[in-house]
């Protein structure tokens, strides 16, 4: 693990960040005491595709071909009142 001072970080940021980019951890010190630790970011994992449920099929399974007397828009408008 490398060590760098706050002064070195200010004046030679490029070399310190290059060490981190190469996968090395760097301890930042101020007056001989460690105040921070710079570590490389963890490797990005591949994102999984989200499987959303089939809401339309669920509604057909519950209600079939029945037509409801009110629409969702009318229900929301009623709940909001006269805004």
Q: Nearest to residue 37, comparing CAs of 46, 26, 45?
A: 26
- What are the tens digits of pLDDT across the range 3-54? 999 999 999 999 999 999 999 999 999 999 999 999 999 887 888 888 999 9
C-alpha distances out from residue 1 to 4, 5, 12, 22, Å: 10, 13, 18, 12
Question: Is the pTM of the predicted complex or chain greater than 0.85?
Answer: no
Domains, in order of start, for the chain? 2-38 (3.40.1620.10)
Average pLDDT over residues 68-73: 82
Q: pLDDT-derived band of residue 83, with 50, 70 and 90 as boundaries? A: low
Give which of 6, 35, 38, 36 is closest to 19, Cα–Cα: 38
Residue with tokens 């981190």: 20
Overall average pLDDT of the 50-73 stretch: 86
pLDDT of residue 8: 93
């Amino acid at each position: 693990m490398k060590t760098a001072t706050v002064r070195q970080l200010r004046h030679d940021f490029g070399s310190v960040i290059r060490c981190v980019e190469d996968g090395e951890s760097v301890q930042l010190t101020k007056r001989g005491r460690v105040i921070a630790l710079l570590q490389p970011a963890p490797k990005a994992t591949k994102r999984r595709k989200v499987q959303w449920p089939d809401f339309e099929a669920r509604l057909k399974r519950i209600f079939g071909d029945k037509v409801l007397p009110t629409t969702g828009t009318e229900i929301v408008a009623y709940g909001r009142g006269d805004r």
